[in-house]
Structure 1
Amino acid sequence: MTDMTERPCPPSNSHSFAGTVGRTIAESTPAWPAPIRPPAGAPNVVVIVLDDVGFAQLGCFGARIRTPHMDSLADSGLRYTNFHATSLCSTTRACLLTGRNHHSVGMGFLADFDTGYPNARGSVSPSAGTLAEMLGARGYGTHALGKWHLAGPAQMSPSGPFHQWPTGRGFDRWYGFLWGEDDQWAPELWYDQHRVDPPAGDGYHLSEDLVDRAKEFIGDHVTADPSRPFFTYLAFGACHAPHQAPREFIERYRGVFDEGWDVERVRVLDEQIRLGVVPPETRLAPRNPGVPAWDSLTPQERKLCARMQETFAGFMEHTDAQIGRLLDFLRQQALLDDTVVMLLSDNGASGEGGRHGSLNEYRYFLGLPDDFQDNIDAMDELGGPWTHNHYPAGWAQAGNTPFKYYKSYTFAGGIRTPLIVKPAAGSRVQPGVRDQFHHVIDLAPTILDLAGVSAPETYRGIAQQPLHGVSMRYTFHDADAPTTRDRQYFETAGQRGLWRDGWKIITHHQPGEPFEHDQWELYQVDEDRSETQDRAGEYPELVEDMVAAWWREAERYDVLPLDDRKRERAEAVDPAASVRTRYEFLPGTRALNRVLGPDFAGRSFTITADVHRPDKDADGVLLAHGRRAAGFSLFVVDNQLWFDYNLAGRHVVLTSDFPVPTGDTRLAVRLDRNGLGAEATLYIDDTASANCHLDRTLPGGFGCLSTQAGHNSPSPVSDRYQSPFRFAGTLRKVVVDLDNDQQDTAEEVWQAALAQD
């Protein structure tokens, strides 16, 4: 028998112990590690991100939309009028949370795509720690709320992996949605790492819910340990389409925009000049291609387009009211003075609504033109639960006044966004306008500077990239201080630009064209904010020098290889990924997207449910794909089998010719693709019961549409039931069999991903 005293001792952490360990307690001295804390006086930080909100859509930046709470932040703090984001959502958020350029951290484009190259992985590299990771390691409590869109589809599973979800990137708590957009009335929500239904009751709205939860997280934090500061990241779904808001907010703007977008742009520019948001000599950019003159529209067209803008304005003011609720909470809890608040938009306003806008933006991607009279008839429903509306491009350009183009462009309309910073009270900052050039990568260094926290060289054993941005703190006390930035590149899907020392080159690249054929434009943006005077012909040597500088920046920050692909990018799939054609769903389960679940787009398929109905009242959903905006559902109602195919609000409904039996039964639907359409057939115990023709089927790319077995939530695909409409009998399983006849949907995947960003 081995002598116990001769056994090797197990590893211990006593080497870091400050006390002493003897043979007994009497011979030992206890010690406790000091809690990890940032330097004394480190402020709380709240970062509020608006979605698709243009430079001119806040009152304090010239809008006629009422935003009193955001304006109050600006009045007590700083308005940055020469601030730049990237031109898309995922890319800006990656820059904001890491302080590095988006290509360098693997987010060269949307999180929807992993192209197989380091600069476009669809998630943030572990070599680029997030603000939550950096602040959390120094003792901050960290909370994320709202839109994430920094995890790829392959990582969106209820069973993980979760390392690119907010809770895997340094946030202690998270409540929000994973994709680029969501329904404000019925979102698909996640609480940390599990899905939750929106709170029950009439009048639910996502923006209100997010603020309620932010107050809860902050309240829990300061109750548990008021000595620790907190970092709260609140990323609204507003004001991305669908533009949805309570009716009373929309009604406040009835008739306000009847004079149209051309008049509105002139009024807004005048107000911007009065506020000092732009220099007095600033001129309006020309009307964007495809945007008609307001006076050229018919009276009915003007009526519809004005109502679309009224809806957006109501959405914007409603969002402001929720921000006011959060600020009131911080004020009531004596937290606001000790809190830095930053508010920005992720990119410029979106022009994806086209000439008239749409009641349901998915119709564009389905190839279903909006029926103009239908839109007129449904005007009073805009912003409500059964619409998924987007305003016309003319209002988006007005929202980007005085600039041209929109989100996804590297012109000012895509990348110039409002930024408001309210420092903590101890900063003694003189409120006002700041005009130094800055970029979204500068926000993380600023926050770290204010917190007294240094970016680590390693994090969890991984060497960290240096920060690419600089602190903006020098601007707090000196409105006239020269900018500390000398250059910044821009790139989105081949659209390129470079700002350097007050000059900017831009190229409007056409996908598929050789990059060497691009025509570079040159603007002296310190004097020509709206990029109206192309001076490339006057200064060809400067253009050549700046183009060479762009390529150097591209190499330095991993922009290469340049990728202007559309459909081909959507087809870029890891060859090691499995391609499944059969899925077995257990009741209550959910597949979140076409990568992890069935890809129904443009192909034939069969859905078969193995059920037991104890009686004729055993109704409910067998399998649903999607929600109110679009999708399809196979369900039992009134003792019949139903299949409702929802083409962006246009329903094709198929009902069985004979009743569904009680007891054990097999219920199925078969879709046989026929060009862009299909033939649909219902089966009860292998006997065909009914069939119909679909002129069009759902395209690829609707990442926001999940597939659910035995229920349909968060909103119903069909108006013949209310969510979740769980199947009341026994649902043993639902089998989805996909045929291998899928037509090419890559272009639709690309377009839908852009719309959902």
Structure 2
Amino acid sequence: MKACARVFSAVTLAVLTAVPALAQQTSGVPGSPAATTTLDGRYIPNPPAPFGGVINLDATNSTPYWPPTVVPPKGAPNVLLIITDDVGFGAPSTFGGLIPTPNLDRIANAGLRFTQFHSTALCSPTRAALITGRNHHSVGFGVISELSTGYPGYNSVITKDKTTIGQILKDNGYATSWFGKNHNTPSFQASQAGPFDQWPIGMGFDYFYGFMGGETNQWQPGNLVRNTTPIHPYVGKPGWNLITAMADDAVGYLNQLNALAPQKPFFLYYAPGGTHAPHHPTPEWIAKFNGKFDMGWNAARDQIFANQKRLGVIPQDAKLTPWPDDLLKKWDDLPADEKKLYARQMEVYAAYLAYTDHEIGRVIQAVEDMGKLDNTLIIYISGDNGSSAEGTIHGTPNEMTNFNGIDVPVADQLKYYDVWGSDVTYPHMPVGWTWAMDTPFKWTKQVASHFGGTRQGVAVSWPNRIKDAGGIRNQFHHVIDIVPTILEATGVAAPLQVDGIAQKPIEGVSMVYTFDKANADKPSTRTTQYFEMVGMRALYHEGWIASTTPYRAPWDITAPTPKDIINGVKWELYDITKDWTQFNDVAATNPAKLRELQDLFLVEANKYEVLPLDASSLTRILTQRPSITAGRAEFTYVKPLTGILPGNEPNILNKSYVITADVTVPAGGGNGMLVTDGGRFGGYGFYLLKGKPVLLYNLEGVARFRWEGAQALTPGKHSIAFSFKYDGPGFGKGGTGVLSVDGVEAARQTIPHSVPFVFGVDESFDVGSDTGTSVEDKDYQVPFAFDGELNKLTFRLEPAQLSGEEKKVVQDKNGKRD
């Protein structure tokens, strides 16, 4: 057995020599279950530790050994990373806004405000950069997954050589969790069929409670999951709201972790849906803001600008960028009914932001209640892009109308005045308020060329480390700088390999140097940063920024785009060392500097997978993507199935189709859902109501078309079918639908229009019952499970009927003829 012991010693020596990531420092002794080890972090997870005890013929003469538990470096802080959604720089009180955000204030007053921090101008690209420390194109998120185009910078796949901060910290001994929005799973992998390696639990997070996709109904989220399982905790609970429920779950998670393993540090990524549409605060929060915005968006903008100078979050010589008279009306020029509606829309938005900040405060308070606030690094990023202009000029009671090119007149919107923000609306505010929430900058979300789309207020606290409480930092930084900041703060190294896969370098730089008061005015360690979103682009370098003039307003989805996106756009130039707000375009007097930055943009674009540039929305919409439904014309279901997220269901848009349900009706008549996609704000439902077959088609809440049989079905077996003949080619055309029972026509109707692009982004496809919201509240409430037997449900789809231009786009995009 001495020979055996010598073998173990040799193996131990070999592993320690060959794998520098193994033990850096170890506590505990052989046989002790309390042994721990700290890695140097270059190769994770650490290889299995060699047996360190002694094995003889019997246990009496042997010594046991427990593999050490990996722990972070001594004194490493907990990390609470918070990011809100669609919040412009000028919205929160912390950065001069008119909306109270006392918990963002709390972090800023205990730590630092960062005034020149930047996003990518769009949600999931920013979030992909945030959790990887790499530019959004570098990790496949040049755009949102729903518009991915299959090029390396635009395929929405975070590859294994660019691991997340969750994985890094998890493999270094942290408890990792993710709450709220996940818009970083490819839409074509967001189903219960998996794979799950691109879901939060596959990207290094031990626990996930949140919603898939870019947004959700906060009253009745149809895309809410725990880990990978769809859940519907709102059913039977009037007044339930995800903003509060998510905070409840996070607080519960922290308390559970603290009770079970108080010594284990946590990394908690907290990403609520607020304030992305739909704006869904509770009534008591709305009441707090009644009448608060009657002054209008121009006066509000002036107030915010004055507040920003008073707080010192913009320079005293900063200029307020001019109001875009060519795009938006001034408040004083509006008729009374528009003022009434728009003020209400802003009241609800303000309530939503204040409500979201309040619930974030409960999570922060839970950390303090556990006695862990002093050694917790809290990074609170106010918004993942600028304020959203997706509500259009007039706002909307249903955001999906904008995405489908449908305008809702002000008179029709006023019908929702008293219930704006409730569960019967899916609302968004008008662009005038959006522009004001981005004060002092111009432009909005989606516009990567200007700070209105990319400048975010950030507050950071860490009482054990940051002593300059209430300090302001003006260094130029970007969302990719958060991961290296967390790594330096925790003492964890960026890995060279993860699971044996060599890692691409992290592209951000740490912001920790700014934590010291002595470095308050130190020049930024970030000297260059590119920006790009759907062809709109900019290049920052050493105090200068070159920016393309936006070729379309982001709220005008049908506006033409440049045929030559490389040379067919105008450029602007700003010296932001003297012009903090991009007020004074100096391109005409500095052509050499402009050319220098234009050339540097192409260098950066080539380096970070930004090419090929693409400004076409139509191209992105029509791109064929991988999915579990790709190439299928027939679908069959023989059992109830719920919670199938958008992109993974039979797509009936812009084509002819037939849905057939073979059922057994119980005695006394049948009730319940056979199949549905979408809900209250757009979609269809095929169901029995008091025995009568019904097909209800909801055109984004603007109109509802109904096919209903005249007679209740007799008990026994029946075949119910709905066939639709589409009047294409083109998007959103009408057609003729026929409802039949056992081969006999029961109802026929021709409709003038259909939904062209998307029913909704947060409702699911369900067979046998309904989750989320109902397509017709007057008929039923969820879950409305079918009380008979659904023997078989089939879909038969014909190809989409595209116009000549649309076909050419598909042909060019996919390199083949249709």
Taking structure 1 as the reference length, the TM-score comes to: 0.94
Match of 1:536 among 587, 602, 624: 587
**Deviation at residue 28 of structure 1 after TM alignment:** 2.6
Please say if residues 601 and 745 of structure 1, whose CA atoms lie closer than 8 Å, have aligned partners that are also in contact: no
How do residues 58-457 of structure 1 correspond to structure 2 at under 5 angstroms? 58-187=92-221, 188-200=223-235, 201-288=237-324, 289-344=326-381, 345-410=383-448, 411-457=450-496
Residue 28 (structure 1) aligned with residue 35 (structure 2): no
Please say if residues 683 and 689 of structure 1, whose CA atoms lie closer than 8 Å, have aligned partners that are also in contact: yes
Residue 726 (structure 1) aligned with residue 803 (structure 2): no
- Partner AA of 1:140 in structure 2: Y
How do residues 424-573 of structure 1 correspond to structure 2 at under 5 angstroms? 424-478=463-517, 479-508=520-549, 510=551, 511-514=561-564, 515-573=566-624
Name the CA distance, whole Å, in 1 between partners of 2:174 and 2:645: 34
- Secondary structure at the counterpart of residue 318 of structure 1: helix
Please say if residues 660 and 719 of structure 2, whose CA atoms lie closer than 8 Å, have aligned partners that are also in contact: yes
**Deviation at residue 338 of structure 1 after TM alignment:** 2.1
Corresponding position of 1:646: 698
Name the CA distance, whole Å, in 1 between partners of 2:238 and 2:462: 38
- Partner AA of 1:620 in structure 2: G
- Secondary structure at the counterpart of residue 678 of structure 2: strand
Name the CA distance, whole Å, in 2 between partners of 1:292 and 1:321: 33
> Can you give the 5+ residue segments of structure 2 that lack an aligned partner in the other structure?
1-10, 13-46, 552-560, 810-818
Name the CA distance, whole Å, in 2 between partners of 1:475 and 1:575: 44
Name the CA distance, whole Å, in 1 between partners of 2:49 and 2:130: 38
| Alpha-carbon displacement from aligned partner over 1:190-226 (angstroms, at most 9, x marks no partner) | 1101111124311111111111111122122222211
**Deviation at residue 587 of structure 1 after TM alignment:** 3.3
Please say if residues 635 and 641 of structure 1, whose CA atoms lie closer than 8 Å, have aligned partners that are also in contact: yes
Match of 2:680 among 625, 628, 631: 628
Name the CA distance, whole Å, in 1 between partners of 2:258 and 2:593: 55
Name the CA distance, whole Å, in 1 between partners of 2:675 and 2:789: 13
**Deviation at residue 576 of structure 1 after TM alignment:** 9.9
Name the CA distance, whole Å, in 1 between partners of 2:56 and 2:475: 62
- Secondary structure at the counterpart of residue 81 of structure 1: strand
- Secondary structure at the counterpart of residue 446 of structure 1: helix
- For residues 342 and 746 of structure 1, do their structure 2 counterparts lie closer, same or farther at Cα, with a shift above 3 Å needed? farther
| Alpha-carbon displacement from aligned partner over 1:396-419 (angstroms, at most 9, x marks no partner) | 010000111101112110000111
- For residues 626 and 437 of structure 1, do their structure 2 counterparts lie closer, same or farther at Cα, with a shift above 3 Å needed? same
Please say if residues 499 and 505 of structure 1, whose CA atoms lie closer than 8 Å, have aligned partners that are also in contact: yes
- For residues 92 and 247 of structure 1, do their structure 2 counterparts lie closer, same or farther at Cα, with a shift above 3 Å needed? same
**Deviation at residue 652 of structure 1 after TM alignment:** 1.9
**Deviation at residue 228 of structure 1 after TM alignment:** 1.1
**Deviation at residue 502 of structure 1 after TM alignment:** 1.1
**Deviation at residue 54 of structure 1 after TM alignment:** 0.5
Name the CA distance, whole Å, in 2 between partners of 1:744 and 1:326: 52
Please say if residues 621 and 636 of structure 1, whose CA atoms lie closer than 8 Å, have aligned partners that are also in contact: yes
How do residues 577-656 of structure 1 correspond to structure 2 at under 5 angstroms? 578-590=630-642, 592-593=644-645, 595-649=647-701, 650-656=703-709
**Deviation at residue 366 of structure 1 after TM alignment:** 3.4
Name the CA distance, whole Å, in 2 between partners of 1:98 and 1:539: 36
Taking structure 2 as the reference length, the TM-score comes to: 0.87
Name the CA distance, whole Å, in 2 between partners of 1:323 and 1:741: 45
Residue 704 (structure 1) aligned with residue 771 (structure 2): no
| Alpha-carbon displacement from aligned partner over 1:665-721 (angstroms, at most 9, x marks no partner) | 112222221241121221111211112222211122444343110111121111111
Please say if residues 628 and 716 of structure 1, whose CA atoms lie closer than 8 Å, have aligned partners that are also in contact: yes
Name the CA distance, whole Å, in 1 between partners of 2:345 and 2:456: 22
Residue 662 (structure 1) aligned with residue 715 (structure 2): yes
- Partner AA of 2:263 in structure 1: S
- Secondary structure at the counterpart of residue 612 of structure 1: strand
- Secondary structure at the counterpart of residue 390 of structure 1: coil
**Deviation at residue 639 of structure 1 after TM alignment:** 2.1
**Deviation at residue 14 of structure 1 after TM alignment:** 9.1
- Partner AA of 2:398 in structure 1: N
**Deviation at residue 574 of structure 1 after TM alignment:** 5.0
Please say if residues 446 and 472 of structure 1, whose CA atoms lie closer than 8 Å, have aligned partners that are also in contact: yes
Please say if residues 403 and 757 of structure 2, whose CA atoms lie closer than 8 Å, have aligned partners that are also in contact: no
- Partner AA of 1:635 in structure 2: Y
- Secondary structure at the counterpart of residue 417 of structure 1: strand
Please say if residues 258 and 370 of structure 2, whose CA atoms lie closer than 8 Å, have aligned partners that are also in contact: no
- Secondary structure at the counterpart of residue 753 of structure 2: coil
Please say if residues 654 and 692 of structure 1, whose CA atoms lie closer than 8 Å, have aligned partners that are also in contact: yes
Please say if residues 110 and 463 of structure 2, whose CA atoms lie closer than 8 Å, have aligned partners that are also in contact: no
Name the CA distance, whole Å, in 2 between partners of 1:745 and 1:39: 62
Name the CA distance, whole Å, in 1 between partners of 2:615 and 2:156: 16
- For residues 683 and 746 of structure 1, do their structure 2 counterparts lie closer, same or farther at Cα, with a shift above 3 Å needed? farther
- Partner AA of 1:430 in structure 2: A
**Deviation at residue 339 of structure 1 after TM alignment:** 1.3
- For residues 441 and 286 of structure 1, do their structure 2 counterparts lie closer, same or farther at Cα, with a shift above 3 Å needed? same
Task: Choose 307-316 or 699-708, whichever is displaced more.
Answer: 699-708
- For residues 98 and 224 of structure 1, do their structure 2 counterparts lie closer, same or farther at Cα, with a shift above 3 Å needed? same
Corresponding position of 2:749: 692
**Deviation at residue 582 of structure 1 after TM alignment:** 0.8
> Can you give the 5+ residue segments of structure 1 that lack an aligned partner in the other structure?
1-10, 751-757
Identity %: 36
| Alpha-carbon displacement from aligned partner over 1:584-617 (angstroms, at most 9, x marks no partner) | 1233314735543211111111111111111224
- Partner AA of 1:238 in structure 2: G
- Partner AA of 2:712 in structure 1: P
**Deviation at residue 512 of structure 1 after TM alignment:** 3.6
Task: Choose 548-557 or 35-44, whichever is displaced more.
Answer: 548-557
Where has structure 1 moved over 4 Å in runs of 4 or more? 11-15, 574-577, 744-748
| Alpha-carbon displacement from aligned partner over 1:368-408 (angstroms, at most 9, x marks no partner) | 33132221122111101011111000100100001111011
**Deviation at residue 25 of structure 1 after TM alignment:** 2.4
